Structure 1
Amino acid sequence: MVDRRDVGSWLEGPGAVRERAEGDYPGRDLGLPESGPGSIARTGPRAIALVIDWALCSLIAAGLLGFSWGEPGAGSFKPLLVFVIENILLVGTLGMTVGHRIMGLMVLRVDGERAGLVPATIRTLLLALVLPAVIWDKDERGFHDRIARTMIVRTR
């Protein structure tokens, strides 16, 4: 169940993310190291992984589903459908998508275990809505990760 404590840092606004006490860093409250393997993945590598995954899913949609960039209507959602399937299957089983693997990232539950299918499904469906992914807490986890009780960490 989600309560006010789960979304409290978002209600305080974006300034809450920038104002850190000395010695505070993303992932500290989750028991993660400040940097290196096992630390919270930063925005840059996560964004690059997303672009890699989106490009791959667009190519798959074009090859298998006949998607074309100028296609109007519901056909324009074909890359999103492939993206959702890719994320649920790969994050749910391997803990990472192709983009995550290339960028050295992994999705874990907050207890340190691999995400699994249920958290991966929750996370992916919220990620497909876009808005939850651009709302972060002080640990730089998107709302979709917070609700699914997951986090993206560095593997190298």
Structure 2
Amino acid sequence: MIDRKDLGSWMDGSPAEEGYVKGSALGLPATGRGAVAPFWRRPLSLLADWGLCLLVSALLFSGDALANLALFVVMNVLFLSLFGATPGQFAVRVRVLPVRGRSPMVLRALVRTALMLLLLPAVVWNRDRQPLHDVVAGTATVTA
């Protein structure tokens, strides 16, 4: 008879290779500059960016919800394309780098931002600590 221990469980966590370095499949270093950014920096930078968009929207557009969203999209695409990081990412010292493919950063930033707005791709991660919106866009968020 098959026992539960034989099948494993989602409660056991994801399968992990002993000694696997996060980001190594992407060609990133294990530590230091250019390594995969720690998890806590991502939501912190997102909160800073969203707060900045809310502030600008309150000053210029009376806090209109659609203006908040439009400002967030424009800020992400513009700053990621020109500087490789949004203001919130600059503040917590992370940046977004292309890791595969040859598409221009503007297109990567647009795809990444559109998928981030859907929320689900932002909470599904792979073993390299790369959320789905980064996987699809061919980018990685690294320590600056």
TM-score w.r.t. length of structure 2 = 0.85
**What percentage of aligned pairs have identical amino acids?**
36
Number of equivalent positions:
134
Q: How does 1:95-114 map to 2 (within 5 A)?
A: 95-111=84-100
2:20 to 18, 21, 24: 24
Q: Is the 8 A contact 1:141 1:151 kept in 2?
A: yes
After TM superposition, give the deviation of residue 136 of structure 1 in Å: 0.6
Say what the alpha-carbon RMSD is for the aligned residues. Answer: 2.1
1:118 to 107, 121, 125: 107
Q: Which residue is equivalent to 2:49? A: 53
Q: Which residue is equivalent to 2:143? A: 154
User: Which segments of 5 or more consecutive residues in structure 2 lack a partner in the other structure?
Assistant: 1-9
- The structure whose Rg is larger is 2
User: Which segments of 5 or more consecutive residues in structure 1 lack a partner in the other structure?
Assistant: 1-12, 68-74
Amino acid at match of 1:128: L
Amino acid at match of 2:132: F
Moved over 3 A (4+): none
2:119 matched to 1:130?
A: yes
The C-alpha deviation readout for 1:72-115, integer Å capped at 9, x for no partner, is xxx423212211110000001110000110111010110499x7
